[in-house]
Chains A and B, each alone.
Chain A
């Protein structure tokens, strides 16, 4: 294979004359991390609410939460993204709001759509983990809480959820990693995150291998960093004598 390796390409001025190709990689990395972190916040908040809802003794609430989970887990992420980006505005928004969206900066609309879509998609998965964590608690925990005179919301807040979170740190770690990986799907609506930027560098310079290797290495580093951070978190949260429930 006679490929002309040139790692200095990242320090060359870009095709447009503004900045260097390394800047493209950095802006892609920043976008990937930014989208993933904000989407993860959305997913955590919504996922915990839904997970609690699935364990409440009120059937309508449980049905709504279960329907949400089935809907968001059984449709491919890419289809969901296209739905929020191409379809939902046309079918669900009034004309004036659609005009506002069309007038807004496209990157802003794309970023917001990606965050919203990834957040809702991941929330369904977080919900199932939270539910499993709650159901892993012995029923005696609820009874003991009620017997002490706590209200249901207090039992969840002070007794059940703190224990449930500790059980589900490992599966949440892999969902957290998935948010980073899934954010690459946003390139299909034109967002220049890490994968898209590396492709673009390949197209402009012909040095696609260097660009892909750098992107791969960065994703690898992100994954290692998250695994390390979450392992630390798990150790810090560990309660003496409570490790056995699993």
Chain B
């Protein structure tokens, strides 16, 4: 090895790296909350008896599920400022960060739609019949009977997906957003210490994702034992 590693850059870079990590976690939270909300909406649309409604949701989901996340990030990076301009009438530079948030919500919603749809379909039809027989409306049945059970069934899948989303947030690198990896890159380039910063970033991602996946495993096993 003919490269002398110098780890002293890491402590100095800490405040900026922590900021980056907060942004990564923010992207994860937005993808989970926004993506699940939009995903539930899309799943209900896909199960709708109206052909146009279910067709529109199907097209949305199949397009987003067949393109790379990187391309989706570029798309929203391009579209969001134009949409804001169309709405407000004037050009407003908002920076790539908001585009990144919207891209993640829109992209992950397509995945969550499929998960939730599978969850809804896994609930026995007798549950719906029973609720309707009790005098609940279709909407009440979905909200109080079917959806809570569907989400519960799908929790392990959603949690596993959350770990993957957390890793995927690093892709905002392509539009120069300072998430954890983006922050590491910027400092690494400034100090010519990319190797140390990338090794450190990789180690941090590994520790967090490994610990999280072990927790999900334990949770899933407990759940299976309880069932």
Binding site for B on A (CB under 8 A): 1, 70-71, 73-80, 82-83, 86-87, 90-92, 95, 177, 180-185, 187-188, 195, 198-199, 208-209, 212, 215-216, 219-220, 222-224
Given contacts A75-B209, A76-B168, contact A187 B69 (CB under 8 A): no
Q: Which of A76, A82, A184 contacts B68 (CB 8 A)?
A: A184
Contacts of A222 in B (CB 8 A): 66
Chain A contact residues: over half helix, strand or loop, or mixed?
helix
Q: Give bound CA distance, A83 to B56, whole Å.
A: 41
Do A220 and B63 touch (CB < 8 A)?
Answer: yes
What is the CB-to-nearest-CB distance from B78 to chain A, in angstroms, rounded to a whole number?
6
B170 in the interface (beta carbon within 8 A): yes
A74: shortest Cβ distance to chain B, in Å? 4
**Is there contact, CB below 8 Å, between A79 and B68?**
no
Contact with A along B161-184 (1 / 0, CB 8 A): 001000110110110000001000
Chain A residues, CB < 8 A from B173: 78, 188
> Which size class do B's interface residues fall under?
35 or more
B3→A90 contact, CB < 8 A: yes
Task: Kindly provide the distance from the CB of A125 to the nearest chain B CB, expressed in whole angstroms.
Answer: 10
Q: Does B65 contact A (CB under 8 A)?
A: yes
Are A87 and B198 in touch, CB under 8 angstroms?
Answer: yes
Contact of B2 among A75, A77, A95, A223 (CB under 8 A): A95
- A212 near B74: Cβ-Cβ < 8 Å: yes
Select from chain B the residue with minimum beta-carbon distance to A88: B195
Could you tell me the distance in whole angstroms from the C-beta of A150 to the nearest C-beta in chain B? 33
User: In the bound complex, do residue A75 and residue B198 qualify as a contact, i.e. CB atoms below 8 Å apart?
Assistant: no
Q: B195–A181 contact, CB under 8 A?
A: no
Q: Are the C-beta atoms of A185 and B67 separated by less than 8 Å?
A: no
Residue pair B71, A184 in contact (C-beta under 8 Å): yes
Pick from A71, A180, A215: contact of B206, CB under 8 Å: A71
What distance in Å separates the Cβ of A73 from its nearest Cβ neighbour in chain B? 8
Q: A78 vs B173: C-alpha distance in the bound complex, in angstroms? A: 9
Q: Once the chains bind, are A220 and B213 in contact (CB under 8 Å)?
A: no
Query: Which residues from chain A contact B74 at a C-beta distance below 8 Å?
Result: 195, 199, 212
* Any A CB within 8 A of the CB of B227: no
Give Cα distance in the complex from A1 to B174, angstroms: 26
Q: How far is the CA of A182 from the CA of B167 in the complex (A)?
A: 13
**Cβ contact within 8 Å between A220 and B66:** yes
The contact of B66 among A83, A188, A219, by CB within 8 Å, is: A219
Beta-carbon contact of B195 and A76 below 8 Å: no
